[in-house]
Structure 1
Amino acid sequence: MTEELGLRERKKLRTRAAISTAAIGLFLERGFDAVGVAEVARAAEVSKRTLFAYFPTKEDLVLHRFADHETDAADVVRARRPGQGALAALREAFLRGLAAREPVTGLCDDPEVAAVFRLVTGTPALVARLAEFTSAGEVALAAALAEAGAGELDASLAAAQIAAVRRTLATANMAAVAAGTPADRRLPEAVAAAERAFTLLSSGVGLA
């Protein structure tokens, strides 16, 4: 029974990946607004019903990559080492992400990642949907900070500042890479900016 469930889950993951790949390929080729959901379903060889079972909205076909990281900051806070402050853990995680060229940090010059960035920032519907994921991630972070001992208001204020910093750093990195700066060359500047930003946060939000 366990093996059967494992096979079923792997099939679902393959189907989800196939739908997303087909959608992004079409969107990059012709533009988000020029491609309909039915066309994506045909390209992925699934029904519209199946497509919507995996991706509730057309925007999610692109932005699931961001949604998959929605609770990353909250997860980092909850998984921090004993005695480690929440902000210190978030700083460490962001710097680790830069070193690994994780797309969520913006420091990734994979051609498809850069193309998706341009697609998202150039499509109003995607920008609006991305804001929803960003807001949900901020709420999750505030909850994690509250669990760590911050008061409700302090947790919400800190989460807003931390989310804004992470977003600003990632956007600057994405913009630099999209303009043609290789990720390796951008890294020292990205690290310096992250260190500066988190140092400012540490004096402004009252977290270790």
Structure 2
Amino acid sequence: MTEELGLRQRQRLRIQQAIQDAATRLFLDSGYDAVSVNEIAAKAEVSKRTLFKYFASKEDLVIGAFSDHQDELALTVRSRPAGTGPLTALRRHFLDGLDRRDPITGLDDRPQTIAFVQMVLSVPTLQARLLLYQTRAEQALAEALPDDGTARLAAYQIYAAHRALADDNRRHLAAGVTADARYPAAVEAANDAFALLRHGLASRYDLA
């Protein structure tokens, strides 16, 4: 029975990925608004009914690529080694992502990745869904942090730092800088951002 359930799960994941891949190709080729759900289903060789079993809306076909990372920061905190603080674990995780050119860090200069992000940021309905995803990711992180009454505030600050770092990397890549050329500055910026999170803004901006 366990083997059968594992096989079904793998099959579901393959179908889900095939639908999402088909949608992404069509969106990048023709533009988000120009592609219909029927076209996506046909491209993925599934029925429209099957498509909606995996994705509740057309927007989910795009935001699903981000949703895979929704609990990533929370999981990083929960699975950190004993004796390692949350900020240290999160900093190491982000630096590892930079090293791997993980798209979530903004340091992925593959043309399809840059085009995909630009598409998301140019469509108002996708921006709204992305904001919902971000809110859920912040909430998940807040629940994973030790709660002394400030976990939510800390989670929002940490997540904002991740967004700012990724956005800055994407801005440089969009201007023509390669990921390899941007990498040293990206590492320096990440270390600086986590230092600010650790020590606060007072020492930098004299807000004490």
**Alignment match, 1:13:** 13
- Superposed displacement of residue 167, structure 1: 0.5
**Alignment match, 1:42:** 42
Q: Which moved more, 1:126-135 or 1:112-121?
A: 112-121
Pairing 1:151–2:148 present: yes
- Superposed displacement of residue 10, structure 1: 1.9
3-state SS of 1:166 partner: helix
Of the three residues 180, 183, 192, the one matched with 2:179 is 183
CA distance in 1, matches of 2:102, 2:179: 11
3-state SS of 2:33 partner: helix
Higher relative contact order (CA 8 A, sep 6+): 1
| Stretches of structure 1 lacking an aligned partner (at least 5 in a row) | none
Q: Deviations over 1:77-114 (max 9, x none)?
A: 11111111111111111111111111111111122211
Q: Which AA in structure 2 matches 1:181?
A: V
- Superposed displacement of residue 41, structure 1: 1.1
3-state SS of 1:82 partner: coil
Q: TM-score, normalised by structure 2?
A: 0.92
CA distance in 1, matches of 2:63, 2:113: 12
Pairing 1:193–2:189 present: yes
Count residues with an aligned counterpart: 201
Q: Quick one: percent identity of the two aligned structures?
A: 52
| Stretches of structure 2 lacking an aligned partner (at least 5 in a row) | 202-208
**Alignment match, 2:204:** none
CA distance in 2, matches of 1:27, 1:135: 25
CA distance in 1, matches of 2:62, 2:171: 19
Q: TM-score, normalised by structure 1?
A: 0.92
- 1:48-197 aligned at under 5 Å gives the runs 48-145=48-145, 148=146, 150-152=147-149, 154-197=150-193
Q: Deviations over 1:44-90 (max 9, x none)?
A: 11112211111111111111111000011111111111111111111
Q: Deviations over 1:25-49 (max 9, x none)?
A: 1111111111111221122111122
CA distance in 2, matches of 1:200, 1:31: 39
Q: Which AA in structure 2 matches 1:157?
A: L
**Alignment match, 1:203:** 199
3-state SS of 2:46 partner: coil
CA distance in 2, matches of 1:95, 1:42: 40
Q: Which AA in structure 2 matches 1:151?
A: D
Q: Deviations over 1:126-171 (max 9, x none)?
A: 11111111000000100111xx2x323x101100100100011011
